[in-house]
Amino acid sequence: MPIPACCWWFQQLGDCACRCPYYQNMTQYDLTASELPFEDEYFSALQSTTLSSCPASRTGIPPAFSQYQSSFITAGATGSTLCGESFQLSSQFPSQGPCYAVWAPTITWFNRCIPTLPADVRAKVAASTAGLNGFYNTASTRLRRYLADIGKAKWLIIASGLGGGLVFSLVWMLVLRLCAGFIVWFTVLAANFLLLAVALYCYSKAGLITASGAVGKVLSDLPIQEDPSADDRHYWKIAAFCVTGFFVIIFLLTCVLIRRIRIAIACIKVAAQAVATMPALIFFPVIPLLMQAALIFYWIFVAAYLYSSGKSLLEMTMQLQMPFESTIQPVYRNTTSYNGITIATELGMAPSNSGGSNGALTVQSSPLTCAQDPDCSYELVWNHGLEWMFLYHFIGLLWTSQFIIGIGYVSMAGAVAKYYWAAGNRTALPACTVFSSFGVACRYHLGSIAKGSLFVALLQFFRWIFVYLDTHMKSWKGNSFLKGFLWCISCCLWVAEKIVKFINKNAYIMVAIKGQGYCRSASRAVSLLVSNALRVAVVSVVGDFLIWMGKLCIACAAGLLAFAISDTKYYTDPVNYPSMYLTSPILPIALSILIAYIVASLFSMVYDYAISTIVLCFCEDCESHNGHPQYAPALLLHTMGRPEAHMNS
């Protein structure tokens, strides 16, 4: 027998051990009567229950539920035979009833209540569910402990995750200003030497290097287990040639790109100087973030109104053939008057017509009566015009979201561009440079931002359409051609979205630099990127590497800080500090690392956009002055060997 759920409103009456079991239809579990264990014992326990063994009083039922007391009690019924005479037609889920209320002493199994069964039956059930019960209790107890640890360590998480992430991000920006060159050159040289060492090792394993040379003597000192068999030497020779070819390519690229790597390092340092000069840049992303939060709140609010605007149709069907009818009727001790029409009449629902042979009864009911009837529900029919309105509302969400992102991009790019064209002289910058740039973006560039954000929003909308089709067109599941075609279209749209986002990012920078419209700015940005492809690629690779390393270092440092704090006596001494004692510091440390990584990502977003702005400003300066930049900060001019570096310093 499926374990029944408790009727929630009966649990508040009288003795908590005397509750009303809730019967579910066994067809919901796809079971037959022969597969239901202990069915006879279950219903025997119900039928043997009397009011004397069930101390909850019938008069204690709340007035709202008084109509659910049985009206089919025989005239001569006494108090000892009344327990179990109440029936419940209400269900926790509309149109999922009826369920039958029988007052009986119960016991709890897995958050369900069942009648008290004979001792041998309880023993068998306990033995069969012992493992599951132990697992459930262990998992729930562990989860409660972990959640309690989060509450106890809230200040640890705030200090190490939020505070530590902020401090370590500032420290990392200082490290980039001072040591970016060392980090980059050390990484480049280490990559070259490691590839050379791997190539020599492969040659040794292939038997192409003997022990006579200096390299051979070093390799001969390796453990004897590293000596390959003759059959493997051929594969080692192939690996050696492949690694050698890769090493030659990397080495030649390093030699060719030395000057561009120096310029990339200078651009990264200048970007760090710009952010340090305008610290408001670090916290400016909070404004677009709040705007996005307001947009999402507004969108959900309007979407809820759209979804709830329609026609509600009343549907009510009562099944005359009840599940377990032949078994449950004896529990009510009155089998002659128990049928669906009588119950409907007793509840005040006058039938307008009776159903056919399927035993269904359709009843017209008021909203109040429908709320009291488990077989009555309202179905919302959405207006087709509102469906198109919801589609329009969804496009608005995508467009406005990208529009807010564009405002943030143009504002930050404008501030960093002013720093570049002022040759890095902070005294030449206007007061509140970041917010001044934000005002310029809102006053002059909203049209350009709206046009660029529209392109991205349309591509995102088409991608969502294909996702919707793939989810709801179940008839396509067996068609490999259509499935592959849908996948190819989705991939193409994803690539197109990435390309448009990349163009938008640089177009917004040119909008902030030149103050021109979106189309002209996008064209100019693409022209600069193509003519300076190698320079931009080197800056992008170096910048992405340093940003990734920064995120990793900041998250790890915050984790170490959280581990050190959690190892203090405040969190490890259960005697003197019981309210702060942590059963396990794993979850607080993990949350600290996650929060620190999010903080580092916000810093990295600002830093990455500052690097991109400096690069495009530098390319525009070079293009406008025949390859000789005139307004670059001193560090960039010094890297290019220009004497103006001393004038601007």
> H helices of 278-332, where?
280-283, 286-308, 325-332
Structure tokens at 138: 């262990």
Handedness of CA 486, 489, 494, 497 (dihedral sign): negative
> H helices of 257-285, where?
258-277, 280-283
Helix (H, G, I), strand (E, B) or coil at 80: helix
| Residue pLDDT, tens place only, 407-449 | 999 999 999 999 888 887 777 787 788 888 999 999 999 999 9
- φ/ψ of residue 109, rounded to 5: -135, 115
The full DSSP string for 481-515 is HHHHHHHHHHHHHHHHHHHHHHHHHHHHHHHHHH-
List the Cα angle 420/175/595 in 5-degree steps. 100
pLDDT for 507 equals 93
Structure tokens at 445: 């560039």
Amino acid in the structure at residue 237: K
Structure tokens at 7: 């009727």
What is the CB neighbour count within 10 angstroms for residue 578? 9
Confidence tier at 402 by pLDDT (50, 70, 90): very high
First to last CA, the chain: 86
Higher-confidence residue: 75 or 636?
A: 636
| Residue pLDDT, tens place only, 199-247 | 888 887 777 776 555 555 554 555 544 455 555 677 778 888 888 888 8
Percentage, residues of the chain above pLDDT 70: 61
Residue 330 has pLDDT above 60, yes or no: no
Residue 91 has pLDDT above 50, yes or no: no
Amino acid in the structure at residue 344: A
Confidence tier at 320 by pLDDT (50, 70, 90): very low
Which of 33, 140, 128, 45 has the alpha carbon at shortest distance from 83? 45
The full DSSP string for 174-226 is HHHHHHHHHHHHHHHHHHHHHHHHHHHHHHHHTT-S-TTSHHHHHHHTS-GGG
- What is the maximum span of the chain, computed from C-alpha positions, in angstroms? 115
Structure tokens at 554: 């900041």
Residue 384 has pLDDT above 80, yes or no: no
Which of 539, 602, 592 has the alpha carbon at shortest distance from 170? 602
In this prediction, residues 498-527 reach a mean pLDDT of: 91
Residue 68 has pLDDT above 70, yes or no: no
The full DSSP string for 115-170 is EPPPHHHHHHHHHHTHHHHHHHHHHHHHHHHHHHHHHHTHHHHIIIIIIHHHHHHH
pLDDT for 450 equals 93
d(CA 474, CA 390): 23
Residue 86 has pLDDT above 70, yes or no: no
d(CA 239, CA 251): 18
Q: Which helix (H) or strand (E) holds 447?
A: helix 446-472
pLDDT for 339 equals 43
d(CA 102, CA 326): 16
pLDDT for 583 equals 77
Reported in sequence order, the residue ranges of 287-387 that DSSP labels E, i.e. its strands, are 310-319, 351-354, 360-363, 376-382
The overall pTM is greater than 0.85: no
Confidence tier at 53 by pLDDT (50, 70, 90): very low
| Residue pLDDT, tens place only, 579-638 | 778 777 888 888 999 999 988 888 888 888 888 899 898 888 888 888 778 888 877 777
In this prediction, residues 101-123 reach a mean pLDDT of: 59
d(CA 645, CA 639): 9
The full DSSP string for 526-537 is HHHHHHTHHHHH
| Residue pLDDT, tens place only, 157-198 | 888 888 888 888 888 888 877 887 888 888 888 888 888 888
d(CA 135, CA 143): 12
User: Could you give the C-alpha distances from 375 to 68, 96, 97, 368, in angstroms and in order?
Assistant: 14, 7, 6, 13
User: Could you give the C-alpha distances from 285 to 226, 379, 470, in angstroms and in order?
Assistant: 54, 44, 35
pLDDT for 644 equals 52
pLDDT for 397 equals 93
In this prediction, residues 109-130 reach a mean pLDDT of: 63
In this prediction, residues 546-552 reach a mean pLDDT of: 85
pLDDT for 64 equals 39
d(CA 228, CA 236): 9
